[in-house]
Chains A and B, each alone.
Chain A
Amino acid sequence: MILPTSRITLPLLALSIFLINTIALNASFSATANEQKIPSEYEEVWDDDWAEEPAESPWQFTGFVEAAYGQFLQSNVTVNSAALNELRTRVNIDYNQQLFSAKAKVDYYYDQVLNKAIWYTRELNISASPLSFMDMKVGRQVLTWGTGDYLFLNDLFAKDWQSFFSGRADEYLKAPSDSIRTNWYFDNINLTLVWTPNFTPDNYITGERFSFYSPQSQRIVAPNEAFPVVKTDKAQWAARLNTRLQDVELSVYGYRGFWPTPTGNMVSHDEQLVNLPQGQSQAQNQNYGYFPKLNSWGVSALTPYLGGLFNIEYANYNSIENSNGSNQDIANGQHRFLVGYEHELAKNFTASMQYYLERTKNYQTLKANSPQPERLVDENRQLITLRLTYRAKQQTLSYSLFGFYSPSDKDAYLKPSIDFQYNDQWQFSTGANIFFGKHNYSFFGQHQDNTNAWLRVRYQYE
């Protein structure tokens, strides 16, 4: 394997790890400074009686301010040498009353990488229980399900890979969508139905922040303008049925919609064009990326086993515009399979492992129709992941390592991080996204030049 970081030093990473550790391990240096910042109620020794409060206001405001910086650890073909450089402020507004509750989570941030200020609404929704056995949430929301850890089989809700690769907080991996979610609770069975009237794709990797492998030009590129993509405005549906048999949680999933990344190529029709370079008119017979139709179904089971947790999941992807696999412009269907186990190895030290298999359907046909069959992903793409988490100092200091390794792609992706919760307000985090690969065209291998280290400082307020 080529180690992209071996030929360079890791000054930023080393510095930020040093800083966080220094802060965490010598937290005493500013104990007095800290006490000035904490709300007055922390100051006083608590009375024996904790007074009853008057009825809580239905309005609640919380949020944070965060500065984040991340830098590539080698030269990259991107415009910027930083993958992350932003100052962000978040406001969470909750409004609760008897019949419904409303929630807004809004970020406003200046993104130096994109050189612009951005309003980002993560949540803006209303929840209610119109029936005794039914809850619903309407509006912009973040949706998640499935048993995988950083691996998604039946969860086809939008992801934000740019955030994931750049070192933003984990919650940003899940992108919001404008949906209506209903949860139906029956005796022993819960049904969740999600309708997204306007299909929401992933925030996938484009040239604006990261470089990637272009099969057309057969090299690593980071085009100034994102490649043109046609996005449908049709609806996507997702459903989950889950139940519990003794200690086993069982789920059945269904999805009707589109591939969340533009895995198709087409000559543009009259669909809405997005990411079309400015000033460029829609040329006849020009190829565009698009999101082919995708239907899927799957199952999962999760159970405590030998003091740990065991999970297994399967998803069947039907790429219905290319069901026999002969269309080289559209992704083939897949079988996805996952098995995982998590266990606490020692006090405050947890390890988990996953094995993931992605089997391409109609592989021989795909190979026969591929212009570069030697660069095709294996019929059985395999991944092994490992997560190690160690928490120290009364759980305020957390060391984490997540690793992906693919024996079939011969590539890997490591995500080490350190997180220090100095007090209820200040949080310091640092980490890295390190990519390895034998080839520059494989899933993680193409990101070797995107290897980066990052640092975040967050102040929570309420």
Chain B
Amino acid sequence: MNIMTQNTASYISNLKYQLLLAFLVIITFASSSQAQQLSANQIIDKANLAAYYAGDDGSAQARMIIVDENGNKQMRQFTILRQDEKDLGNQNILVFFSRPSNVKNTVFRVEKHIEQDDNRWLYLPALDLVKRISAGDKRTSFVGSHFFYEDVSGRNPNEDTFTLLAEDETSYTLKAVPKQPKSVEFSYYVINISKSNFLPIKSTYFDSKNQALRTMTVSKVKEIAGNATVMKSRITDLSNNSYTDMQFRNVKYNVGLPNNLFSERSMRTPPRAWLK
């Protein structure tokens, strides 16, 4: 850049040269103030912390309403227990389904890994069987909803290259390009992150023709124990406008879940004291 600038400069008039110098000074000034600001990766790390790592552990009740393109509705209700090994690191997650009745008492367990594939198990109450399930494609539907597994547990930031597109008073706008384009159904996504709490407020996924495929929007945020918490969000499939709403209640942080809670035992015998 510098070499280019100098080469260019040598061909232009003195006046223009001075103007350019002035411009460069402004740029330098601006970027030195930028240095105190956040890089794209720093913003993403903060967003991940806010969205997926609030507190050292947490519990919440969630429900989803799944609306297909014809207006048919399905519902899922479940309780999530989460424990972080460390911030932005591995996590343990248990999901206890309570509705509808055909999935009642089903339990989903994940050991979310940053450096390797996740471990996943499913407890099938009809057979009293804990079944290991393969790590699989993380961009497949979570229990039939428009949320992907990755939307629920967080997409690994190492999968994408981020650039800061814009910034205004309230939010950052970043573009994320997957490092392995073949591993995903989109070619890039644009994510809006709130400056006040670093929660991603809107994400839009685009195909290679810059056509929007899918959006995630947050419609309600609440401060709980000092953590800004998404209470309601929606994922819409723009190809047919089908969508899933997800809503939370009874959100708690730093409840002190014991380490050994995240085990086969809890799948067979739900730890009711922690599910209230």
Contacts and interface: CB of A to CB of B under 8 A. Distances in A.
B72 A31 contact: yes
Interface stretch (A8-16, A198-206, A304-312): A304-312
3 tightest CB-CB pairs across the interface, nearest first? A62-B101, A424-B100, A28-B70
Q: How large is the interface on B (under 10, 10 to 19, 20 to 34, 35 or more residues)?
A: 35 or more
B134 A395 contact: no
Interface string B43-64: 0000000000000000000010
A64 B265 CA distance: 28
A309 B128 contact: no
Interface in A179-221: 183, 185, 190
SS of A interface (majority) = mixed
Given A28-B70, A142-B127, A50 B247 contact: yes
B196 to A, nearest CB: 19
A143 interface: yes
Interface in A117-135: 127, 129, 135
Interface stretch (A264-272, A274-282, A342-350): A342-350
Interface of B: 63, 65-66, 68-75, 99-102, 104-105, 117, 119, 126-129, 132-137, 139-141, 143-146, 185, 219-220, 231-232, 242, 245, 247-250, 263-265, 268-269, 272
Interface in A3-38: 27-28, 31, 34-35, 38
Given A27-B72, A50-B247, A304 B119 contact: yes
Contact of B128 (A35, A144, A190, A425): A144
B99 A171 contact: no
Contacts of B74: 396, 421, 423-424
B99 A127 contact: no
B63 A92 contact: no
Nearest to A169: B126
A460 B102 contact: yes
Contacts of A343: 134
A73 interface: no
Contacts of A249: 132
Interface string A40-54: 011000101111100
A49 B126 CA distance: 34
B83 to A, nearest CB: 18
30 contacts: A42-B73, A46-B232, A48-B220, A48-B232, A50-B63, A50-B247, A60-B104, A62-B101, A64-B101, A92-B101, A129-B269, A135-B269, A144-B127, A144-B128, A144-B129, A145-B129, A183-B268, A185-B265, A190-B264, A302-B132, A304-B132, A342-B134, A344-B136, A347-B137, A347-B140, A348-B140, A393-B68, A423-B73, A460-B100, A462-B99
A223 interface: no
Nearest to A127: B269
B134 A62 contact: no
Nearest to A34: B72
